Structure 1
């Protein structure tokens, strides 16, 4: 049963992430809002089923606390609490949790859809985080108080891509939520940059090792050297025979 539900939930996870990006960058139409609400109900039912069958429910909740918060936040819109929280300046903080929860769900969906988590998985995951992170940065920074906000989603996407490449740009976040999201993206970019550098170095060293003219001795060259040594030993032993 779990296997039968896994594929639809993975697909809905990607749809949910696309709807989040659309909501943060351009807003949702009434039809898309209804679609998002329907997917949200499905996620709640799925989570409650997983909680019901979990042998250690408290441990399950601790592991999935971000999912719990991201599923609880859309209820504010249904119960008309968003206006009150907007007055208390709490809405953007909840939106940050929703962004992180949606990215986390997208990461799980991507991991479930790929059987082997190699270099291709890292590339797709980086694209996912860049696109979703740019939407979050645009939602937080377009209302920056000093007038130097990110003016469009395209500009935010460019800024996030530069952050991913560790090059950075002249703009730095002004809002607390934007700074928190920027910090998390920078941590991911730092970790991925080291992984990509090591992967590329291994690839080029491997190609150099396979070449006979390369500077690095590969497995083939070592085997040839061992063969020559063995032949020399046999020749020396034959000459020593009376």
Structure 2
């Protein structure tokens, strides 16, 4: 007779399998919607949205909420699910504040910039997950794709935050150039004036620092691999090491054969 503990574990296992199956079914549609959401956010930050595009964005946002709620209901361990999706949850709540105008404070320009900052960070997180499903979490293609998203969307955010301040980033190409310089650790003479711009600048700088190290390691591995393929190079390649191991093994065999002959 099954115990209550075994029944509970079996139920959790069934719910986890159902969650995985639904995630696989919705992977491609949610992937398309994720990239569409990033595109709409970029248009909103740079030019603003028309009523039709606002309706489209609201529809995509509602689908994201339904997807999140369904996964939360099916998740066997709900607290762990929430902990691993905190940024996603916040990015889904923020549009509701702007849509329903729950308080007058959200109409203030500073509050709107703050909500935009949360929306940009949350969208970058969603873009990272979308690219991870497309290319896998490892590999140069994933890092290049993510860096492109961070560059374009980060520049749109910096332009939205800094375009109205004195001597700010007046055009999107200027913000794009500034963001590229920041990500490559070269920097520029301009420093963000708004609190939201400084916060986004800090996040972009952290990403640029991490990715710069990854690209440096990748290039070093590439050139070391090219050098290792050359038999005359100073760096020993896999073939040279394998040949050395074979020589050592053969030498040991010869020594053992010589000792056996001496004993006879």
TM-score (norm 1): 0.89
**Residue aligning to 1:67:** 88
| Residue 2 of structure 1: how far off its partner (Å) | 2.6
Q: How does 1:70-149 map to 2 (within 5 A)?
A: 70-81=91-102, 84-87=105-108, 89-115=110-136, 117-144=138-165, 147-149=166-168
Q: How does 1:158-237 map to 2 (within 5 A)?
A: 158-226=177-245, 230=250, 234=254
| Residue 82 of structure 1: how far off its partner (Å) | 7.7
| Residue 166 of structure 1: how far off its partner (Å) | 0.7
Equivalent residues of 2:105, 2:111 under 8 A apart: no
1:75 and 1:222, CA in 2 relative to 1: closer, same or farther beyond 3 A? closer
| Residue 6 of structure 1: how far off its partner (Å) | 1.4
Equivalent residues of 1:19, 1:36 under 8 A apart: yes
1:173 and 1:116, CA in 2 relative to 1: closer, same or farther beyond 3 A? closer
Equivalent residues of 1:70, 1:98 under 8 A apart: yes
Structure 1: gaps spanning 5 or more residues: none
| Structure 1: 4+ residue segments shifted above 6 A | none
| Residue 219 of structure 1: how far off its partner (Å) | 2.3
| Residue 234 of structure 1: how far off its partner (Å) | 5.0
Structure 2: gaps spanning 5 or more residues: 1-21
Equivalent residues of 1:54, 1:60 under 8 A apart: yes
Q: CA RMSD in A?
A: 2.5
| Residue 80 of structure 1: how far off its partner (Å) | 3.6
Residue 73 of structure 1: SS of its match in structure 2? helix
Write out per-residue CA displacement over residues 120-143 of structure 1, whole angstroms, 9 at most, x where no aligned residue.
111111111111111111111112
Given the alignment, which residue of 78, 97, 107 partners 1:57?
78
1:83 and 1:153, CA in 2 relative to 1: closer, same or farther beyond 3 A? farther
Q: How many residues align?
A: 239
TM-score (norm 2): 0.82
Structure-1 separation of matches of 2:137 and 2:207: 20
| Residue 223 of structure 1: how far off its partner (Å) | 3.7
Write out per-residue CA displacement over residues 165-205 of structure 1, whole angstroms, 9 at most, x where no aligned residue.
11111111111110011101111111111111111101111
